[in-house]
Each structure stands twice: as structure tokens, then as C-alpha cells.
A and B are shown apart, each in its own frame.
Chain A
């Protein structure tokens, strides 16, 4: 019998449900209905905790997604050659990758000074003074590359493994593979910026062909964390309670008259989870319960870091509560510095540097960094040549898929290292290339998941996060 047959035969009870109830359902199925275990096939799609393939280093992930494509040669990867050859023509070498050839100029030196920091001597530019103090906790990969020079496809790639939409995000794969440790919160949470969604919108955290229960749940950091979480129409508490009681009694009668219809149980459970969410989701995001020192450490209440700081702090609170995968987004494309890179990069760092460094420090002092994997990076890098360079003030850089820098920290990561190398100008990877696929396989590996085994059967095709591409676990950055 093919596995897809098994999947479809689950139609008789609810195929997809969330919350604890899934566990009970799955238990019921395996014991009472199917008897012996059916190897390899998943019998229910729920969020109960699942055993990884092997002992994991990390049990949760916080991904700090730096939307727009942070400039490697202005942040982590200094290029003295650019200073030497500033202004010289380079267009022909990079023409095939430019998204806007009209504005191309000559080689552009970084407006920022670099220094080595920490015991590790990691290079960091002057505009990240806070992270500079935490470099001994992070592993910088300077030899990342991707396959498309546009935001949308590159975002699909970094989030879901291919340059096309419609595939599950990595967080959805992790939720599918590991379930949630929290009974009252989703496994995969997205903290998007109240100022606006990233490119590709909600598709960034979709479940694709995986059941919708694994989709990232947006928890809004301002106002109500989930759409429809609180009643739009305010009513007296006792009336709300009275309606709920009536509904649950009517539903129980309905269910009693229909014995054996398991989807009705799942539905009742979903109403119970909804009620718990109303309380717990709000509580998890309530940073006012944090100490003054913690708030100050992150930069809450200070501008321009306040908004991002809140989300970093919320991420820590969610991870503490057992949420598996947290993604933090920032509005617009603050790292997409086509013009005025000097000014714009400074602003981007001012908004994020302090909160990010504080998150590392805070996780560490609470002992959470040992089991939490922190990821920092964008969808691609930037070009060594200038764009829109009417003058130094206006100059920026175009997208560059051939090289970018990101870093990883925490659980299972070798701290204080830099890995990989780009060429003299930072255009292409020169040594130890790491593909997005490799990076994905490495993240799954740290979570105790084998990227080759984490599959979903789609009409006979065993789909994987890494799709059809070859992957390599980047062991050099592992502790």
C-alpha cells in the first residue's frame, strides 16, 4: 500500500487539527482502529510534541530576518580593495545579476570603519557597536549564496527552499517535524512589524502543501496579537460566558447524537484552544511584566529601537513558553539600500543592533541560549559597485545573490568563528560556499531532524524542505 493511500484514508476522522486533542486522537487511531503500527506514515496532523530523528542540540529557534539584503561589505566583510579601486568600472563583470542596470556605477568603498572585536577578533563595522560586544557568541558565515537577485524569489528561497511560492516555510516544516511543547500556544509564531508586512506578505510563513495547522501564526506585537482574538463587540463577561456555555451544551447534544464522528471532538477541542489562546497569547506578549533593567537592556522605550526591541523580548518570552520557531520581521526593506547606503544602513542598525545584542545576552544569562538557536540574516547580499551615485551621499548598492553574510548563535553552534570567504570585492564566494539549502539542512540538523527524512508525501512525490537540491550540513560551524 502506498503511503499516499494511508494519508488519504485518514479522511474519516478529521485530517487536521490543532491543540492537545490531536494527541488523544492519534492515540485512539493507532490503538483502536489500526492496531499495529503502520511504519513511516503519519497518522494525524496535529501539534503534539514529536520525537526528533536524533538527539537535538536546539529545541527552539529565533530567526531575526533582516529583510532587504544587508550589505556584507559594510557590516561584516571588510574589503580594502574597494577603498583602493573606488570609482573604477566593474559593470561588465556583474551585469548579468543586476536588477536595475540603468543606475550602475563604479566600485564603491564602504563609508564605515571596521575593527576586530572580542577574543575571536571577528570583524564588525562601526555601526553595530552592541553586537560587537557579543561576537564571541556568534558564528559568522561569509560565504552564503542564493539563486535569484529579486526579493520575492529570494525570500521564497530563504524561507521555503525554492524560488517559487506555494511551498512550506521552514518554520512549518519544523512544526510538522517536532510539534509544539506548548499546549496553549502555536508551534510556529511570526512576529511581524506592525508598520507593515514584508515582501510576499503572509506567504512567507505559509504551510504550502503541509496541512494548515503548521502554518506560522502571526502574533501582532501591537494591539490584539491574533486576528479575531478578542471579541470585536464588547459584552459583559457573564453574557460571554452564558453564550459559551450554551454553545458547548448544544454541541455536546449534537455530538452525542452522532457517536464515532471524530471530527466533532476535534472541533470542540479547537473551541477550547481558542478560549485558552485568548488568555495565553496576550500574556506571552505582555512585556510590561519584565524588569526595568531588562527593558532598558533591549532598548524598549527608546527610539528608534523600541518596536524591534519589543519583538525581540517577546520572542524570548515565547521560547520560554515552549514555542518551537519564532520569526521576527521588520517593516519595509530596511536593508535594501539601493541609495544613500551610508544614512540608511546607520538607521537600520540603530533600530536593530541593541535589541539583537540584548537578546543574545538575555538568552545567555537565563541559560536559554544553550537550547535556542538564533539566526540573523537576509535573503541576499549587495553589490560591490555603486548605484544611483550622483554623489557619495546618494550612492547605494544593488542586490547580489552571489554572496552574503549571515550569522548563527546558540545551541550547537561553535561560538566566535567566521567561516567562508568572498573574493577581493565581495561579489562572489571564493571559499567554502554555503547554499541556502545547506543552511536549511544545518538548521534541521541542529533540531535533531534529518533533512532527508523530513518528508511529506505529495501525490507520490516525497517533498522535502531542501527539495531536489543536494545539501551539505555545514559541520564547520557546529560546536
Chain B
């Protein structure tokens, strides 16, 4: 505080001096300071933060965040602030007091171009100063989708053309322009309609700007969207591009190592080299029982049956292990384990989440879940997988396809990838432009963090602090998605009937692939029948409720009447049953005095009559349930709608503070900076921009610096416990350096060579010697490789939430392996415990349980199932008391333990010794050791077999995978 006061005083003093002395001239006194200190980063060639201080007009244009010089006000000028605080020039000595003083004095003196004389002209306006205001305030009702009064204000031509009341804008005459008059009088945008339209009132500053533009003759200006060109990019330098992660991966030759006998494939050469450099080697190979358990969990998320483990242990085939891996990769359970891996990244959920707590169910999201599971099972090449998910709607013309093929349907379902994030914009209170931008920002984060290994969210408000991602690049990326996500032409996530209107949601129809017209007709007929039945039952329910409401209303009326003087009862009843316009004068008097006390609205009825409220809630629930078995199968999808709004850089991320107009593009640092981003319609005459398709094709280029690296690193982490780059979602400068850079690149190149096959990568990793090591830690490990960064052993891993839950179900014989389809519902107990509902043989695998963001099954929640806000790029393993409490005390775990005991008894009979053996094999895929056997038998003398099984489900041996 003291410093500040002092400084202000000093400032005032300087100001006095300046007014007496001469104001420094820009060319001779200020520009030289800027040229020798700032131009290196903020010049014509390198223009960090989009700021160029090399000439007067360019300096006055400002940076990506707006003007940096406010004439006459040095303390509000970013240029002066940062220099004064010593924050600029970055990494260099502070400017001298004399230099700082000169800049201050120049700004104070009006920031004129040279010496005294010319004033700073307000920048000339063009249509792009006005159109974004129209998009924010007007085009919801007077735009391309909807032209109330025949008016479309989203272009200059539209303003001139006007609507039913004549032209909206008269160039050179703001006072006579209808749109100006409507805004100034406060009639437009209409106050009562703001919320429905998702519009906030136009501000005085905006009106002033529009008026200025009109008065200047409404110039169009010659502004082209900023896109990559063949000229080198001033915002990102070639030096920036040198960072390892921004260079295409290049496969190194596997190094020569001493322990050649341990090399099972090239992975081991890379790993051994690092180990040998430290005087280490790979640990011994784990025994077969450990290996089979490890491989089963890694590929199927479930343990082997005892018979399988025994057979593998005894198998003399030298390739038995390799064959095991192949068999597991072909298991239908594989997609359920690995689909989950991808669903974390996509932020999959069966509900909307977002800013309101309704957390409405997304009834068709599960088709995307099934698509992911099937894609993993069929080993869909990763490049194809990404193309479908990012631009499936632009791959083939689905609207006029002669036959609906499974591929066509898959393409559309796949687009759910970038439609899974939290989004409650189906509610009008949170459906303003900034709410929509939040939804888009989440999807960009999902894309960046999961597929590109870049944290992009910083660049929404300003250029990235660590990585060379200018704010411009973020908005170029938003423009890529504009055809599908246009904050000024919004599709809400759900279909809803609200406020007397119907909103159609982000759905496309689902058509059974390859069905004949007759089959489709039959399906349609069945759906109509179902819908008709639902209608009939809904109507019956509502009728029943209406009668109950009438009875309840009578009850409440009588109660209220009883509180009033008895002598009035008769008259009040008469008054109440007489229509208002038929009442006599005395009745009118009575009504004035008592009617509101006696009348009870339906809303109030629920509040005052608990019994009725309960019945009404139940009817609501049933009606909703009928509505939810929607007769029309749909896809939760994303698709290009053709003619998106223009995209402007939003300074500091604020939708009202728009800067430069940009076009579609990819992060410059991932290109050579001299290649335009070419977009063309996906097929001739397509009503689509083709931007996402162009983006996806760029993303899956074989030499893309990040796509393959990021994916192999993720696969690696699932198998080895940590990534080669440990910051899974950040390959940028603030991320961790790879522990084995050559290995990472070798794998990335191999991934592409092997046709982007995920299974091929897994086969490679899992058949390596590195993967087959045991997990024992000895003193040399603790000394030389304490955190296992060098892979001197296998890491001990805890079961994930789903693996734990599914394994308990399997072991207890309660797992219902029904695959695909609508999710199993969950129930919420009075105390808040959430459990899946039992059905069929027992419970379904966790991946098939409804994932409503607000009601995650408690056991999954306790064991670190991630909150999808918006997605999860790296799960955390916690060890907290609530986990212990759950496994020790939860009733469902008790039940599973009993079922487990039943299975043990069935297989082992009543002999305790046999029981203990069987129990170990079933739960741990191995026999007990002598000590465990002895303790378990002693335990069995005191405890029931069920409780011994319960102990096993609680044990560390069960929870941790060696």
C-alpha cells in the first residue's frame, strides 16, 4: 500500500514536470527504447501476444488483449504497467528510470505520433466491429434461422435490406436508422424476451459504437479472416517448433545392450539400455500364475478362472504366454475393459451435468458407449477411430444414403465423442452465449487433453504461458468446430418442450443398419404401438391424478374454511362455487376478502398436502418413465449445419470483448507455419463446411507430432502403471520430459507402421521382457530406481474401481454378462448410498451401469471413479478410510461374500482344507502359501466360510495386482 501511494505521488509529480517540460517525441525518444528492448519478441517478425511495437500505428493497435496504450493514462496502459513492474522486458534487466519515465511522460502527454500536433484518431470502424454485437444481441430473433418481422441483421446487407418496417440501417444517419432507434428506446432487444432468447441487453458502449459506424457510412472494411498462409507465422517461431513434442517422431534403432538374453523385442533394448547405464538390469520374470492374472486384468478387467490358471501353469508350449495374450485380445470382455479407458477420456456420462442440478438423463448416450466397446473389440485402426469420432458426419453423405450400412451408422454414433461433456443449455437460465462457450471450451479441452496431449484451456483467455499456443490458434480451432458448435446458432443437448415451445436436441435418428424396408416398417409399427400404449397409460394416470387433486383440493378447502367463522361457511361455499362474473355484490365482497385464502393452486396443493404430493410425484415419475422409453431411437450426435457464424478472438475470453476475425486452423506450432489449412466441402454440394474433416485428417497424418505419441503413451500407462511421459495430458513445456524418449518415438512410429492397431501395440508391450518382470523391490531398486522410472521391475497396481466391483461380482458368481444396450439403472437409498439395481443373474459390469453424473454407484465413487467434469485424463489412486469402511461394512459386499462362499462350497464340499484351497484359487488365481493356509484354517474354525470369503474380498492380496 505504502509503495503504491508513494508511487502515485511520484506519478503526479512527474506529471507536473512533464506539463512544464516538453513531451517526449515518439520517433526520437520512445521508439528507440522499444526497438532496443522489446522488438525481439514484439516486432513484425515475431509478434508474441500479437503485439508489434515497431511502429506507432502498430503499437496503438494493441495486443491480443486489446490496446496497450491509453493516451493520457499511463497507469491504465498495459505497456507502462508491465515495464514499471519490471515484468517486461521478460528475462532481461529492467528499463532505466529515465527510459521508464520517458514512456510515462509520452503516454501522459497524449501518446501522440511525433512531437506535438496530430491527435490520435479513433480507429476507423468496419462491419466487424458491429456484426459480433448483432450476433450477441439481435440475431436470435433477427438472424439466419429466424427472421422476426422479416428482418435479418447478421450481415450489413441484411441491415440495409431491413424487414417489414423498412430498412434497419441508413448509412451515414444513425439517428434515422430504425435499428438504432429501437435499441436506444430500450424496445430492442425486448426485455420480456431476454431469457427465452438467451440474450443480454445491448450496452450503451455497444450502441455508441454502432452509431459511430453508421455515421461513418457503415463501411464494410476490407477484413479477411486471419488464417495460416504461405508466409511464416509471426506469432510462433521456428525455435518454438524445435521442442521435442512438436517435432514428428523419428524411430531410433534399438540400442545395443549387454543382457541380450533378456531382449524379447525392441522395447526391452530401450529399457535395458537405461537400466544398464545405471548398473541395473530387468528383474526376474514373474511366475506364470502372476503373469496370467496380470494379463487377464490388463486385457479383460477380470481374473482368470482357476481352471484357466492351472492349465496355463502346466502348459509346456514355449509360446503359451504369447498365445494367451492373443486369446485375451480376442475376448469380448476386452472391449469392456478398454472401452472404459476411452470413455474416461471422452468424459462419457448418461446425463447432462452442467450448471444446473437437474442432471437430466441423456437417453441415447449409451449407443456411443457401445460403439467404443465394439471399436476396441474389432481393433478399429486408431486413425479411423479418430476420423469417425471427430468428423463422422462428414465422412459420407448420410442424408441421402441409398442403404444405411453399419459403417454409416457408426460414423454418426461416433460423433458423440465431442458431445459427451457437461451441458445443461437445455435450461434457458444457463443458455446464454457465455454458457454455450463454456460447453464448447469443455469439448476443446477434451479433444486437446485426450487426443493431442496439450492443455489448451489457457489460450481461451490469453496466449498460453508455457507453450507456443497463441490465443488466435484457440479461436481458429473454435472456428473448425463452428459448423457443429455455433454459440450464436445453438442446438441444445436435449429435446425438450418448455415455455410453450419445442426445442429439438442434438439428436440424429437411429436406423437399424441394413434393414429391409419391410423390417423398418415393422420396427416403426412396433414403436407406434408402444407409443400409443404409453399415451393411453399416461392419460389414465393423469386422469387418476386429476381426481385425486380434486379430492385433495376439497380437503384443503374444508380445512381452511374451518379456520374461518362458522357463520360465514354457508355463504363462502356458495360464493366459491359461483363463477366470478355471476356473483352478487355481497358475494364479491366475500371473494375479495377470503377467496385467496381459500383457493389452493395445484402448486400449493403439493406443498400443503403431503399425501397428494407423494401421489403426484409418483405419477410424474411414471409419466417420465413412459416418455423415456422413447419410441424413436436416436443418436446423441454432433453434425455440421452448414453456414456457421463468423469467429472472433475473444479478448480475455469474454464474449463481449471481441477482437480479430479468424478462420479455421490448427495450432501453428504443430505445423511448419507456412502451410494454409485447406478446407473443402466433404462431397460436391455438401451442406457442410468440411472443417472438422480437414482437421481430423490433419490429426491422423502419419507424421503428426502428437497423435501417435499420445496414444502409445496412454496404452503404455495402462500396462506399466505410469506413462513414458508421466503428465498424460500435457506433452508441452510444462509437462514432464519422457523417461525413455527414444522408446516413445520408436513406439509411435511402430504404431503407425502397424496400421494404427491398438492390439498390435498391446501385443508388443505385453510380450516384452519388461512387462513380464516381477514386482519385487530390493535394495538396489530403492537406491537406484526408487520411483521405477527406469522400469527395473513391474509396478504393483491397485484394482481400478470397475475392476474391483466386476471382480467381486465374478468371484461371487453374481456377474450378469449381458452385453451392450441401455444401461442398468441405479437406486439411491435414503442415506445416499447408490447401488446398481440387480437384474437377471445379478449385476451387470460397471461399464453397463447408468452413469448419471450426480449418482455414481458408491463403491465406484469410493475407489476413485472419476467425476466427469468434463473428462478424466489420468485417474488417481487414493487410499482412504471410506474404502475400508465400504468393503468391511457394506451389505452388498456381505451378500457377495456369501455367494462366493456358496460357490466355494459347491466346488470344494465341506472339507475346510479343500475350501481354503478353492477360495484362494477363485479369488487370487493361486494356492495359499503355508502361512496363509494355516491362518485361514484357524480362521475357519471361528468364522463362517462366508466371513472368510468376506475377509478375502477385503484383503490386500485381492485388491493389488503383482
| Interfacial residues, chain A to chain B (CB-CB below 8 A) | 2, 4-5, 8-12, 14-19, 33, 91-92, 95-96, 98-101, 149-153, 156, 163-166, 197, 199-203, 206, 208, 211-213, 217-218, 220, 223-224, 226-233, 235, 239, 242-243, 246-247, 249-251, 253-255, 258-261, 263-264, 266-271, 273-274, 277-278, 390-391, 393-394, 459-461, 468
Contact = CB atoms under 8 A, between A and B. Distances in A.
Contacts of A232: 889-891, 894
B777 A260 contact: yes
B232 interface: no
Contacts of A217: 882
Contacts, number: 264
A10 B778 CA distance: 18
A218 B831 CA distance: 11
Nearest to A32: B782
Contacts of B881: 18-19, 270-271, 273-274, 277
Contacts of B195: 98-101
Interface string B731-743: 0111111000000
A178 B826 CA distance: 37
Contact of B878 (A15, A100, A149, A218): A15
Contacts of B956: 250-251, 254-255, 264, 267-268
Contacts of B960: 254, 261, 263-264
Contacts of A220: 831
Enumerate the 9 nearest inter-chain pairs by beta-carbon distance, A residue then B residue, closest first.
Answer: A460-B734, A166-B869, A260-B777, A232-B891, A8-B726, A274-B884, A12-B787, A16-B878, A95-B191
Contact of B879 (A199, A201, A224, A270): A270
Contact of A163 (B355, B449, B733): B355
B44 interface: no
Interface in B839-889: 854, 858, 864, 867, 869-870, 876-886, 888-889
Contact of A253 (B737, B798, B878, B932): B932
B943 interface: yes
Contact of B727 (A8, A218, A224): A8
Interface stretch (B20-28, B511-519, B636-644, B947-955): B947-955
B201 interface: yes
Nearest to B863: A212
Given A152-B357, A246-B951, A247-B955, A226 B885 contact: yes
B876 A263 contact: no
A196 to B, nearest CB: 10
A412 B132 CA distance: 48
A249 to B, nearest CB: 6
B191 A17 contact: no
Contacts of B832: 197, 202, 218, 227
A243 B798 contact: no
A434 B929 CA distance: 66
B139 interface: no
Contacts of A33: 782, 786
Contacts of A270: 879-881, 883-884
The residue among A2, A150, A228, A231 with the most chain B CB atoms within 10 A of its own CB is A228
Interface string B413-449: 0000000001000000110000000100000000001
B194 interface: yes
A223 B867 CA distance: 27
Contacts of A259: 776-778
Nearest to B461: A468
Contacts of B737: 5
A16 B879 contact: yes
B798 to A, nearest CB: 7
B351 to A, nearest CB: 12
A101 B355 contact: no
B947 A12 contact: no
The residue among B357, B880, B883, B942 with the most chain A CB atoms within 10 A of its own CB is B880
Nearest to A244: B888
A268 to B, nearest CB: 8
Given A261-B777, A273-B884, A460-B730, 16 more contacts: A12-B788, A15-B877, A15-B878, A16-B880, A17-B878, A153-B355, A164-B355, A164-B438, A227-B885, A242-B939, A243-B950, A249-B935, A250-B936, A254-B960, A271-B881, A460-B466
B721 A11 contact: yes
Interface string B455-469: 101100100011000
A218 B356 CA distance: 22
A246 B943 contact: yes
A239 B798 CA distance: 28
Contacts of A19: 881
A147 to B, nearest CB: 10
A186 to B, nearest CB: 8
28 contacts: A2-B735, A5-B726, A8-B736, A10-B787, A11-B721, A16-B880, A18-B881, A33-B782, A91-B191, A150-B356, A150-B430, A152-B356, A163-B355, A165-B869, A201-B357, A228-B886, A239-B943, A246-B951, A247-B951, A250-B951, A250-B956, A255-B956, A260-B781, A263-B877, A264-B956, A278-B885, A460-B455, A461-B457
Contacts of B730: 4, 459-460
A239 B721 CA distance: 38
A228 B943 contact: no
A213 B948 CA distance: 30
Contacts of B891: 232-233
Nearest to B935: A249
Contacts of A267: 879, 956, 959
A212 B864 contact: yes
A118 to B, nearest CB: 31
B888 A231 contact: yes
Contacts of B943: 239, 242-243, 246
Nearest to B196: A101
Contacts of A247: 951, 954-955
A165 to B, nearest CB: 5
Given A2-B736, A264-B956, A96 B877 contact: no
Contact of A4 (B734, B798, B950): B734
Contacts of B876: 15-16, 211-212
B235 interface: no
Contacts of A206: 867
Given A12-B788, A166-B867, A227-B833, A150 B355 contact: yes
B878 A212 contact: yes
A274 B888 CA distance: 9
Nearest to B652: A468
B85 interface: no
B875 to A, nearest CB: 11
A165 B880 contact: no
Given A9-B787, A152-B356, A96 B201 contact: yes
Nearest to A201: B854
A149 B429 contact: yes
B787 A11 contact: yes
A165 B435 CA distance: 13
A337 B878 CA distance: 41
Nearest to A212: B878
A345 B727 CA distance: 51
A167 B263 CA distance: 46
A199 B430 CA distance: 15
Interface in B760-794: 775-778, 781-782, 786-789
Interface in B140-165: none
B429 A150 contact: yes
B353 interface: yes
A394 B596 contact: yes
B877 A16 contact: yes
B409 to A, nearest CB: 32
The residue among B353, B867, B885 with the most chain A CB atoms within 10 A of its own CB is B885
Contact of A17 (B201, B732, B782, B880): B880
Contacts of B795: 11-12
A180 to B, nearest CB: 12
B727 A459 contact: yes
B192 interface: yes
B186 interface: yes
